[in-house]
Amino acid sequence: MVNSFVTVATFTNSPEANLAKQRLEAEGVKCLLLNESTVNVAWHLSVAVGWIQLQVPEVNVDLAKSILVSELDYQSVSDFDLEQDIEDNDDIEMPSWADQTADRAFIVAVISLIFVFLPIQIYSLCLLFSLFVSRQPISPNRRIKVIVALLLDLLSLFILWKIYFPS
């Protein structure tokens, strides 16, 4: 058959399939994607239809496979280099307990201002009190968060006081 197409690769998602298709078309290989619309619209049928299939004419199978394999080898080498760079870069510091507690207190204070009727201001104040009692050092940007969290907690408690005890 003159126009018989053969599947050279299958993909689980449309972006990967389209990238492979564009790579082959850039090399001059005519290709098409089968089941792309089905997988995009009815993803639950993707296994039943055999995923997204990249097909090329039978005469171009070897060329297409060599292009796709060379592309995969290039990607795996660049991913390996990226992993090596990440492993070599060990100067990333994890935040201390005090910094994590300050962040948590700030987030809870903001939420307590949004949901005034919930008594979560007390939790935020307990976190701030534990920071004060522990006397562990806090980074400078977290100090600002602690001050803002305390002000937000006091503001939300004031709003609660005015709601429940109007003058």
- Per-residue pLDDT of 93-141, as tens digits, reads 678 888 889 999 999 998 888 887 777 888 888 899 999 898 888 888 8
List 106's β-bridge partners, or say none: none
Please give the Cα distance from 164 to 117 (Å, whole number). 10
pTM, full prediction? 0.46
The mean pLDDT of 18-41, rounded to a whole number, is 88
Average model confidence (pLDDT) for the chain? 81
**CA–CA separation, 102 vs 143, rounded Å?**
8
Fill in the DSSP letter of residue 31: -
DSSP assigned state of 12: S
